[in-house]
Copies of this chain bind each other. A is one copy, B any other.
Amino acid sequence: MTAFVARLVVKPEKRGEFERLQTELRLLTHAHEPETPVYELIQSREDENTYLCIATFTSQDAFDLHMGTDFHDRLAPAILDCLAEDMDLGFYNIIGEAKRQP
- Contacts from A to B (Cβ < 8 Å): 3, 5, 19, 22-23, 26-27, 30-31, 38, 40-46, 51-52, 54, 56, 90-96, 100-101
Interface of A is mostly: strand
Contact residues in B for A44 (Cβ distance below 8 Å)? 90, 92
Partner of A95, one of B41, B91, B100: B41
- Taking a contact as CB atoms under 8 Å apart, the answer to whether B30 and A100 are in contact is yes
Q: Which of B40, B41, B43, B92 contacts A52 (CB 8 A)?
A: B92
Given contacts A46-B90, A101-B30, contact A95 B56 (CB under 8 A): no
Known contacts A42-B3, A56-B40: does B95 contact A23 (CB below 8 Å)? yes
